[in-house]
Amino acid sequence: MDQHLGLRERKKQRTRETISDTAIALFLEHGFDPVSITQVAEAAEVSRRTLFSYFPAKEDLVVHRFADHEDESARVVRARPADQSPLDALRANFLDGLRRHDPITGINDHPEVIAIYKLILDTPALHARLVKFYESSERALADALRETADLPELPAQLIAAQFSAVQRTLALDNFRRAVAGTTAADAYPDALAAAELAFGQLRDGLG
Amino acid sequence: MDQHLGLRERKKQRTRETISDTAIALFLEHGFDPVSITQVAEAAEVSRRTLFSYFPAKEDLVVHRFADHEDESARVVRARPADQSPLDALRANFLDGLRRHDPITGINDHPEVIAIYKLILDTPALHARLVKFYESSERALADALRETADLPELPAQLIAAQFSAVQRTLALDNFRRAVAGTTAADAYPDALAAAELAFGQLRDGLG
DNA sequence: TGCAAAAGTAGACTGAGTGCAATATAGACC
DNA sequence: GGTCTATATTGCACTCAGTCTACTTTTGCA
C-alpha cells in the first residue's frame, strides 16, 4: 500500500493511526462520552485542530475503519461477471467476508476489533454513526444497481435497502456474539447459517 | 383527547404546539442549521431551558410528529387477527395509511406537512433523526414478532429490518414526489403500485 | 540552500445541551 | 377566601463539539 508515498504521506498515515489508537484506548478505559476531544488530542500529542483535520467528527475516531468499506457493495455489483445476478454477487461477497474474518462482518478474533464492537454496541452515538455508514453504502449500491442492472429508481432503492438491512442485521448479531466472548471459529458456523437463511429470504421471500 | 386534562395540562399542550410551530416556521424561512435554539425560544416566548424540557434535541422540534408513530408497527402486529400473518397485517396497515393520507406515508396534501418533508429531505441532521425513528420502530417490531409469532431472535430481527427498510424507502420516495409538487391524489396510484410491488417482493423474494 | 506548499498550532468563537438554584403558578385542602 | 405543595418555568453559568482565522513549522523539490 504505502511503499512510496513520500515521507510526508507516511507521516500523515502514522499520525492518523496514532490519533485513532489513542482515542480508542481512552474510550475503552473511560467510555466514549466522558472522554473529550481535548483529552484525546493531548494524549495523542496533536492540537485539537489537527485532530479535526484527520477526523471530521468524534465518532469517526472509532468508526472510520468501517467507513472505508462504504463503496464495497457498489463495487461488488459493478465488478460482477455478466452471468451473475447482483444479489448473488452480494451474497458471495458477504460469505467471503465471513470466511476471511473481515472485521466488517463481525466475525473476528482481534481483541482491538472486538473492543470496537463493544464500544459501538454500548454507545448510541457510535451506533448512529454506523447506521449512517450503512445508509451511504445503500445509496451507492442503489446507484450501481440502476446503472448495471438497468433497474428503475425505486426498485433499485428497494433492493439496496433490503440488502443493506440484512447485512447490518447479520453484522450486528455477530458483533453481539463476539462481544459476549464467542470466538470467531465458534461463531462462524452459526453466522454462516444465519447468512444463508437471510439471503435465502431475500431471494425467495418471507411468505 | 384533551377534554379535561386540567388547565396545567392544556397549557402545556398549547405551549408545545406553539414552540414546534414557531420553530418550523423559522426553519422553513431560513433553514434548519442557521436558526439557533435561542432564536426559536425567543420567537416562541419561552426560555431556552423550557424549550429543552419539551424537546430534548433541536431535531425533535420537527420530527416529533413522526416519533409518535414509533410503536405503530409493533402494535399492528400484536393486534392482528389470529389468522393473519404479521407481514399481511403490516402490509394492510401501510396500504390503509396511504388511503387515509397519513402524513407518515408521504401521501399528504397539507402544505405544512409537505414543508416538513422538504425540511427533512434538505437537512442531513433531520434525515438522520428520521432514520433513528425507523430504527426504534424496527426494534419494537422485532420484539412484537418474537412474542406474538414465536420467532427466534435473529429471524424476528431480519423480518423487522426488511419491513422497516421497505417502509422507509416507500415513504421517502413519496416525500420526494410530494415536495416536487405532485398532489396526493395524483401520487396515490403510483404509491399504491410501488407499495404492492415492494410488499410482493418481501413476500415472494427478489430472485 | 532556498522557497513554495502543505501540515500543524494557538486561541477565540458559536451553538447545543445540562445542572442548579431561585421563582412562579396550578390545584388541592382547609 | 387563604395556605401549602408539587410542578413549570426561568436565568445563569458551564461543558463540549466543531469552525474560523491568522501564524508558525516542516517537507519536498529545484
pLDDT in tens, B122-136: 999 999 999 999 999
The answer on pLDDT for B93 being more than 50 is: yes
pLDDT, residue A1, reads 38
pLDDT, residue B185, reads 97
pLDDT, residue A39, reads 98
The answer on pLDDT for B181 being more than 80 is: yes
Chain A closest CA to B19's CA: distance in Å? Answer: 26
The CA–C1' separation of A8 and D26, in angstroms, is 9
The answer on pLDDT for B82 being more than 60 is: yes
- Grid coordinates given for A87: 444479489
DSSP state letter for A5: S
The rounded distance, in Å, linking the Cα atoms of B158 and A192 is: 15
pLDDT, residue A2, reads 38
Average pLDDT, chain B: 95
Chain B closest CA to A173's CA: distance in Å? Answer: 8
The size of the A-B interface in CB pairs under 8 A is 82
Q: Which residues of chain A make contact with B158, given a CB cutoff of 8 A?
A: 166, 169, 197-198, 201
Q: pLDDT by residue (tens digit) across A6-65?
A: 777 888 999 999 999 999 999 999 999 999 999 999 999 999 999 999 999 999 999 999
Q: pLDDT by residue (tens digit) across B96-112?
A: 999 999 999 999 999 99
pLDDT, residue B4, reads 52
Q: By percentage, how much of chain B surpasses pLDDT 70?
A: 98
Average pLDDT over residues B71-85: 97
Closest CA to A164 of A146, A137, A144: A137
pLDDT, residue B2, reads 37
Q: Which residues of chain B make contact with A155, given a CB cutoff of 8 A?
A: 197
Alpha-carbon distances of A82 from A85, A142, A146, A151, rounded to whole Å: 8, 18, 15, 15
Question: What part of B 148-207 touches A (C-beta under 8 Å)?
Answer: 154-155, 157-159, 161-162, 164-166, 168-169, 173, 194, 197-198, 201-207
Q: Which residues of B151-190 are buried (b: 16+ CB within 10 A; e: fewer)?
A: beebbbbbbbbbbbbbbbbbbbbbbbbbbeebebeebbee
Between B206 and A41, the more confident residue is A41
> What residues contact A85, with CB distance under 8 A and at least 6 apart?
B207
> What residues contact A93, with CB distance under 8 A and at least 6 apart?
A72, A73, A76
The answer on pLDDT for B3 being more than 90 is: no
Phi-psi region of A4 (alpha: psi -120 to 50; beta: other; left: phi over 0): beta
The answer on pLDDT for A180 being more than 90 is: yes
Q: pLDDT by residue (tens digit) across A108-158?
A: 999 999 999 999 999 999 999 999 999 999 999 999 999 999 999 999 999
User: Nearest CB to A202: which of B164, B203, B205?
Assistant: B205
Specify the range with the lowest mean pLDDT, choosing from A1-10, A133-142, B57-66.
A1-10
Confidence bin at B6 (pLDDT 50/70/90):
confident
